[in-house]
Structure 1
Amino acid sequence: MNAAQSSSSGRPQPNDVEELARLLPQPMEFDLPAGRHLHYKDILMQQIDHDRDATAPHATAPPAPSLRRRLLRPVVLVPAASLALAGTLVLTLTGGAGNTPASSLESTPRAVTALHRIADASLKTDVTPVKDSQYVYIRSLVQENTGTFTGPVKLGKSHKSERWMSQDPIPVTVVGWTRDTGKDAQMAGEDLPIEVGVPDGSDSSGAEAPGFDRPTYRWLASLPTDPGELLKLLAAHSQVGEHESKDQAVFEMIGDILSTNLMPAQNAAAFYRAMAEIPGVREVPDAVDTAGRHGIGITREDDSSASRDVWIFDKHSLTLLGARWYLKKPGEASALAGSAAILQSGVVDQHGMVPEKDGDNSAAG
């Protein structure tokens, strides 16, 4: 920069700005669907507040909920260019040495007994194997928080959410498709890709292979069915958020996997028995999903946790009905931040198709 182009105050002049703009590379252009800007603005503002609180004298940063991907919950769809920024923010917000130690809470006998009953019931489920070329279909009724992260919880109206998750055994950048109905009039009924685009070091394109972040039927079938071995594997791969224990992270991870995938009966039973071995699980005698169905709830919460999940099961068949999730700020009671009811699941040959009935491979419309 030419020093003669700057004022005596040291502030850049218009010519300086124009020169810098000319030298910088042109920014990438992409279209972000309406409403998605707010999500990333919230994440960015949360990080700014976190940094500011950390540097302020005697500041105590409030616990932040884990930002791990919630598969049962609404998916934020963005192009790869913006995912790179989002991935950096998520790693900053959920990683680090601020994690609480493993919980010393004791599980309630009722919760452990209920989980073993649920595991026994799942062994009686007739699950049709899913082919690599097919899609796992999940239709849910979802109610979510429409408020900002730092503001009060504001529940929006319930809407239908459909997912078609790819079972392709090779790394892919489009891991599935989603369609929300009754949520956003601008995108009502539109099928949108669920994309990944942040390179993980194994593939320069950012394509994701089957694994913990992208569980497929074949991959899930390869997991150990011994609950203890499975629990060790889950603990080794769980992402622990700030103010969250390893036990809490594994509990939430198991719930997310069970609620959004199809797997052999013996693998599902192993997941439920592994959940029963996590310290601190407890039963909620009467929990209600978004569709108003009452069931048995299984939950867990560390004292320092800023979020809590409740997984809801039918009181008679013990099948998974859905979930409720709560947020808790320091000095405040937990607030319901969203819920989901699983209405249908099955297998189809193409995304956009709907199974005729649960587990049926034939698709209509």
Structure 2
Amino acid sequence: MDDLTALRELHDDVPQLTDDARAAARVRLQRAVLQERRPHALSRRLMLRATVAGTAAAAVAGGIVVAVGRDGGTDASRMTPLSAERLLRTAASRSRSSETGLRIPRDDQYLYTKTYITRTYVKGKRTKTWTDQSWMSVDGRKPSWREEYGKVHHDPPLGKHEVRWPPTEYAELAKWPTDPDKLLDVLRMADKDSPTAGRMAFVNACMLMMGPRVMPPGLEAATFEAVAKLPGIKLDHHDVDALGRHGIGVSYPKVSFSFVFDPKTYAYLGLRLKGSSPEKIDGAWRQTHWYYEMRGLQESGVVDRIGQLP
């Protein structure tokens, strides 16, 4: 028996890798390649510079390059770049795998979320932080208690003809399609051939992820897969989420929002946005005091009353 035959038979006894395992393996491979290339005589500072320079070059070329075979193995002859589409599809697979035992809320319950927000102003690098908690009525028929940048809002029940966009009521979200193509049509809110349809879809996807973070099964994954179909999405390799965790962002041209994912597991970390505060100058309101803001979900769940924790 030759070595190749033995290797094939050994592979047959190994179970298929999960998407999370493959993602982790790719990261370990990338680190191993960088480590192997480092001359042992170089100083630690010089090695750090070389690694940063190599990572930046890979980002400019279109993404971090890893070797991935069809079966999840590695092969130097098959080099696949990490694209925004690939990241989103992996994040979708991870989202589906984490939905086991997902609790379906009753209409009389509340959706609890705890969000950490950090805002860093471009001028002066001054930083402000908030930890917001919210209890949103599942069906919208009871008052809700919501914090926004530390300020408490007592939201009355929705009126008979009132609607929110995107919906916050679980039953309304449950009506949304989990087929990525159909969901993309919903997110576009316009003819798919419109020049602004892609931008509209990306913004609505961000707004959906900013809402109650207890979603019907498959909706979060379908959102990532729908966004993956948008031409023009790109990776931002140096994002940092609200909790200080380094991440990889996915953005769209001329949109101030971007999704942020864990660079190792591709778990969804939160949203990053660029904004400004208005200021009245010479009798006219102008957008000044530009800042970058990160919103990271710390906790979410279903509870029976306002003030209760999951």
Indicate whether the TM-score tops 0.5: yes
**Is the partner of 1:354 in helix, strand or coil?**
coil
Aligned position for 2:10: none
Aligned position for 1:339: 294
Distance change in 2, residues 1:287/1:146 (3 Å): closer
Q: 1:245 aligns with which of 184, 191, 196?
A: 196
Aligned position for 2:86: 113
TM-score when normalising by structure 1: 0.51
1:254 aligns with 2:197: no
CA distances 1:15-45 after superposition (whole Å, capped 9, x unpaired): xxxxxxxxxxxxxxxxxxxxxxxxxxxxxxx
Q: How does 1:2-17 map to 2 (within 5 A)?
A: none
Question: CA shift at 1:159, angstroms?
Answer: 1.4
Contact 2:275 2:293 in 1 (8 A): no
Q: 2:145 aligns with which of 177, 180, 191?
A: 177
Contact 1:172 1:208 in 2 (8 A): no
Aligned position for 1:228: 181
Aligned position for 2:117: 142
2: CA distance between counterparts of 1:114 and 1:288? 17
Aligned position for 2:9: none
Contact 2:114 2:132 in 1 (8 A): yes
CA distances 1:244-301 after superposition (whole Å, capped 9, x unpaired): 9332221021122124332233222111110101121111123101210112211112
**Is the partner of 2:189 in helix, strand or coil?**
helix
2: CA distance between counterparts of 1:196 and 1:296? 38
**Is the partner of 1:123 in helix, strand or coil?**
helix
2: CA distance between counterparts of 1:153 and 1:325? 18
1:129 aligns with 2:113: no
Distance change in 2, residues 1:301/1:115 (3 Å): same
Contact 2:189 2:197 in 1 (8 A): no
One-letter amino acid matched to 1:116: R
Alignment RMSD, CA only?
3.5
Contact 1:286 1:296 in 2 (8 A): yes
Q: 2:267 aligns with which of 319, 333, 338?
A: 319
2: CA distance between counterparts of 1:341 and 1:256? 14
TM-score when normalising by structure 2: 0.59
One-letter amino acid matched to 1:208: E
Which stretches in structure 2 are left out of the alignment for 5+ residues?
A: 1-61, 64-81, 277-288
Contact 1:138 1:163 in 2 (8 A): yes
Which one has a larger percent strand, Structure 1 or Structure 2?
2
1: CA distance between counterparts of 2:204 and 2:117? 19
2: CA distance between counterparts of 1:207 and 1:224? 23
Question: CA shift at 1:158, angstroms?
Answer: 0.3
1: CA distance between counterparts of 2:190 and 2:108? 27
Distance change in 2, residues 1:221/1:316 (3 Å): farther
1:213 aligns with 2:160: no
2: CA distance between counterparts of 1:173 and 1:161? 20
**Is the partner of 2:89 in helix, strand or coil?**
helix
Distance change in 2, residues 1:317/1:351 (3 Å): farther
Question: CA shift at 1:160, angstroms?
Answer: 0.7
Question: CA shift at 1:219, angstroms?
Answer: 2.1
Contact 2:109 2:137 in 1 (8 A): yes
Q: 2:256 aligns with which of 308, 324, 327?
A: 308
Distance change in 2, residues 1:351/1:318 (3 Å): farther
Contact 1:124 1:265 in 2 (8 A): no
Distance change in 2, residues 1:320/1:349 (3 Å): same
Contact 2:166 2:207 in 1 (8 A): no
Aligned position for 2:133: 162
Which stretches in structure 1 are left out of the alignment for 5+ residues?
A: 1-106, 198-204, 239-243, 329-333, 356-365
One-letter amino acid matched to 1:192: H
One-letter amino acid matched to 2:153: L
2: CA distance between counterparts of 1:278 and 1:338? 24
One-letter amino acid matched to 2:154: P
One-letter amino acid matched to 1:177: W
Contact 1:122 1:265 in 2 (8 A): no
Question: CA shift at 1:322, angstroms?
Answer: 1.5
**Is the partner of 2:220 in helix, strand or coil?**
helix
Question: CA shift at 1:315, angstroms?
Answer: 2.5
2: CA distance between counterparts of 1:253 and 1:237? 12
Aligned position for 2:25: none
2: CA distance between counterparts of 1:160 and 1:296? 23
Distance change in 2, residues 1:293/1:220 (3 Å): same
Aligned position for 1:65: none
One-letter amino acid matched to 2:261: F
Contact 1:143 1:157 in 2 (8 A): yes
Question: CA shift at 1:208, angstroms?
Answer: 2.7
Report the number of matched residues.
215
